[in-house]
């Protein structure tokens, strides 16, 4: 594995956290977001397992630390937060190497028995349960009220106050953002009274952006250059429209407390259906049909909730396992 690290932020001395992932933007956001919410000094680490370790299920890979391209070694952290399937084996190995002193937390479903971790934080729609399982209502992330406030100040002169911010996903393993769905989205946005700001993601095809530019010539559409306007759009827009393929973007939108309108795409599966049904029933989201209803809800901050549980459990875990690693 390649093991690189960079400081994220430091608070008070004492306990240390590693946020360890394979480096993808989605898993980094969740692991680092949770680590930052705990409030102890954090190092973000990127790891990659070599074959054959990378080919084995995490709980069947007890020698994971010997399968790293660049090794990890003591001094082990007080808390290890991992996210993504490829970090599972390393988490299990570090827990064993530290003789239980490191409190291990895995975000998402590890596809391994929960007993291999001190705490697992999967989404509710994965259906996991257990004494050390704390399900979350969506994806964890790094967005906080303070970051939104700063983004609003930075972007206000350039974006103004859009009536709607549109967060575009795209094709995935189970979803397709087809021309028909893009056309329906454009039809709905054409009725908006006020400005529209649109940002594509890495999965948004160029043909989708071109179609929206043609259909919505007055909309502000980020061209992918310069500063990323994502946080500014979340902070400044009155309404948020998000394509249904992205649990992460919907979760981030729901952290604002603003009306979140979910735009349909083709495909899906039972897990996505359960996630969307939960947020609709809670009054957080509504399907986007071209109308902009106004509603309120308590902003979703699952990282803070899981972080509080980590701090609580660590208060007794450190006493129970306080021996040299």
| Residue pair 248/167 in contact by the 8 Å Cβ criterion | no
Which residues in the chain belong to E strands, given as ranges?
A: 4-9, 17-21, 42-46, 79-83, 103-107, 119-121, 164-167, 175-176, 196-199, 220-221, 239-243, 260-263, 266-267, 285-287
Residue in 84, 76, 124, 74 with CA at minimum distance from that of residue 102: 76
- Count of other CB atoms within 10 angstroms of residue 128: 17
pLDDT tens track, the chain, 325 positions: 444 444 444 334 468 999 999 888 999 999 999 999 999 999 999 887 666 555 555 554 555 555 566 677 789 999 999 998 888 888 998 998 899 999 999 999 999 999 999 999 999 989 899 999 999 999 999 999 999 999 999 999 999 999 999 999 999 999 999 999 999 999 999 999 999 999 999 999 999 999 999 999 999 999 999 999 999 999 999 999 999 999 999 999 999 999 999 999 999 999 999 999 999 999 999 999 999 999 999 999 999 999 999 999 997 665 555 544 4
* DSSP line for 199-240: E--TTS-HHHHHHHHHH-TTSEE--S-SS--HHHHHHH-SEE
* Within-domain flag for 294: no
175 in the same domain as 110: no
pLDDT given for residue 321 in this prediction: 53
Both 282 and 309 in a single domain? no
Residue 94 sits in the same domain as residue 180:
no
3-state class (DSSP) for residue 23: coil
Q: Tell me what pLDDT residue 67 has.
A: 55
Tell whether 170 is covered by a domain.
Answer: yes
If you ran DSSP here, which 8-state letter would residue 19 be given?
E
Residues 157 and 209 reside in one and the same domain: yes
Tally of CB atoms within 10 A around 115: 11
User: How many separate domains does the chain show?
Assistant: 2
Could you tell me if 93 and 31 are in contact, meaning their C-beta atoms sit under 8 angstroms apart?
A: no
**Residues 154, 194 within the same domain:** yes
Using CA atoms, how far apart are residues 114 and 121, in angstroms rounded to an integer?
10
Q: Given this model, what pLDDT does residue 71 score?
A: 72
CA distance 89 to 286: 39
Report the distance separating Cα 82 and Cα 128, nearest Å.
Answer: 17
Burial letters 260-291, b for 16+ CB under 10 A, else e: bbbbbbeebeebbeebbebbeeeebbbebeee
Query: What residues make up the domain containing 32?
Result: 4-137+303-320
- For residue 298, being part of any structural domain is answered with no
């Amino acid at each position: 594995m390649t093991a690189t690290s960079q400081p994220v932020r430091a608070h008070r001395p004492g306990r240390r956290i590693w946020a360890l992932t394979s480096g993808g933007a989605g898993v980094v956001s969740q692991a680092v977001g949770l680590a930052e919410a705990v409030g102890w000094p954090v190092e973000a680490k990127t790891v990659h397992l070599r074959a054959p370790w990378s080919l084995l299920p995490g709980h069947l890979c007890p020698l994971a630390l010997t399968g790293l391209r660049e090794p990890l070694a003591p001094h082990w952290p007080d808390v290890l937060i991992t996210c993504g399937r490829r970090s599972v084996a390393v988490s299990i190995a570090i827990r064993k190497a530290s003789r239980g002193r490191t409190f291990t937390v895995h975000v998402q479903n590890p596809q391994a028995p929960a007993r291999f971790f001190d705490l697992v934080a999967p989404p509710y729609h994965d259906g996991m349960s257990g004494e050390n399982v704390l399900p979350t209502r969506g994806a964890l992330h790094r967005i906080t009220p303070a970051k939104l406030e700063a983004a609003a100040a930075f972007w206000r002169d350039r974006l103004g106050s859009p009536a709607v911010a549109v967060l575009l996903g795209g094709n995935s393993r189970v979803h397709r953002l087809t021309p028909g769905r893009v056309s329906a989205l454009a039809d709905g946005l054409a009725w908006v009274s006020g400005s529209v700001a649109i940002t594509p993601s890495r999965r948004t095809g160029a043909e989708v952006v071109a179609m929206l530019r043609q259909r919505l010539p007055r909309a502000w559409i980020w061209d992918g250059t310069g500063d990323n306007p994502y946080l500014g759009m979340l902070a400044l827009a009155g309404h948020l429209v998000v394509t249904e393929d992205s649990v992460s973007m919907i979760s981030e939108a729901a952290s604002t407390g603003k009306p979140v309108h979910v735009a349909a795409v083709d495909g899906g599966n039972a897990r996505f259906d359960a996630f969307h049904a939960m947020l609709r029933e809670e009054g957080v989201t509504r399907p986007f049909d071209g109308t902009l209803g106004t509603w309120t809800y308590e902003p979703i901050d699952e990282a803070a909730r899981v972080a509080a549980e980590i701090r609580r459990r660590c208060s007794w875990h450190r006493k129970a396992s306080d021996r040299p690693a």
